[in-house]
Amino acid sequence: MLHQLFTQVGANLNFNNQVNRKANHVFVFLEIFVHEGGIQSYVKDIFRAYQKLNPRYQAEVFVLRDRPNSAPDWDEKLRFHGFQNQSPYLGKLKMTLALLKCLLLQRPQHVFCGHINLATLIQTLCQPLGIPYTVLTYGKEVWEPLPNRERQALRSASGIWTISRYSRDRCCAANFIDPSQVKILPCAIDGNKFTPGIKQPELIAKYGLDNTRVLLTVARLWSGDIYKGVDVTIRALPQILQVFPDVKYLVIGRGDDQPRLAQLTQDLGVSDRVIFAGFVPTEELMAHYRLADAYIMPSQEGFGIVYLEAMACGIPVLSGDDDGSAEPLQDGNLGWRVPHRDPNAVANACIEILTGVDQRCDGNWLREQAIALFGMDALQKRLQELI
């Protein structure tokens, strides 16, 4: 059966006819297109940057949970292979065989493992062939001690990439890894996609935001993700409203924690000041960012791409002070960082932001700084250094 699968997979992916292609790099991910999220957005940005590197670079991209035809029309530098299957076991088996055949035929210079859950597989295939591999990490999936096999695969990698100093430090402390083994490849922002602009009248009418100052959060409302801090911001509202009675809080996102949050607004008497907007498609997010006078998310993030999105739209930002947001907020130079579970601290910072006298409230300056540090050009330069 394995021989039949091996033959079938090789034929379907046409590896036997790719001898002349010779991939420099192989990327292996759990998913890229099947869901939208921060990690998926980060991976897509990496590939956009990769396409602009050395024109001779070629890469094979293996994705366990995406459909074979789910990738966009990438150029010839990137060849995409999806292995979505009703049987997770069969899908992983087919990807493993296809990946092995690719490694044997093309002998790439380097393999990039896109998730810790794939690291053991990548180690098993790459080490006997003498092919170096790097593991990409993001946040909480490596913040706690890993099972022995995953930890060994991580420690045996020729390199580890992560998105922030905070994620690096937590990963290394939990898994006894030398910090010098870990390189930082931060998230990026597309300054052409996220831009300042007027508040759209139709959205103002839709959400009842006439003559109001708007605090905004974009986050999943899952009971397992209360660290996003939406409840803390709601608890801060009574204090904020004493100074700025025209404030409303717009929450974009959905999840099973929304009933608890809605009840909290009732309990605190601020239900008329909080709007739960639900899910907003990615292409409509920029218009919603432009509604905001401040982006508020006292969270615990591995990085926090939403802060960059807000800053690129010229919106001042507030984050927690014990997480990866130190990177996009440049240790507080580009925004306010407060204890993430402290409603009083959130309230005081929001009042300061809405007063508008700090340089960090200057939308044009904020956008310039964010793009200079985290724009696509900066990502491309850093990726070139790492590769």
Tell me: the pLDDT tens digits for 120-148? 999 999 999 999 999 999 999 999 999 99
Kindly compute the dihedral angle of the four CA atoms of residues 296, 302, 308, 310, in this order, to the nearest 10 degrees. -20
The per-residue pLDDT for 1 is 44
- Domain limits for position 256: 201-374
The per-residue pLDDT for 16 is 47
The per-residue pLDDT for 290 is 98
**Do 205 and 183 share a structural domain?**
no
**Do 153 and 234 share a structural domain?**
no
**Do 176 and 88 share a structural domain?**
yes
Q: What is the tally of structural domains in the chain?
A: 2
Whether 29 is covered by a domain: the verdict is yes
Whether 326 is covered by a domain: the verdict is yes
Report the CATH number at residue 306: 3.40.50.2000
**Do 265 and 135 share a structural domain?**
no
**Do 182 and 236 share a structural domain?**
no
Low pLDDT (below 70) residues in the chain: 1-21
The per-residue pLDDT for 282 is 85
C-alpha dist (Å) from residue 151 to 18, 135, 147, 174, 373 = 34, 11, 6, 10, 32
**Contact by Cβ (8 Å): 40, 55:** no
Nearest to 28 by CA among 135, 152, 171, 183: 135
**Do 142 and 116 share a structural domain?**
yes
**Do 171 and 37 share a structural domain?**
yes
**Contact by Cβ (8 Å): 24, 102:** no
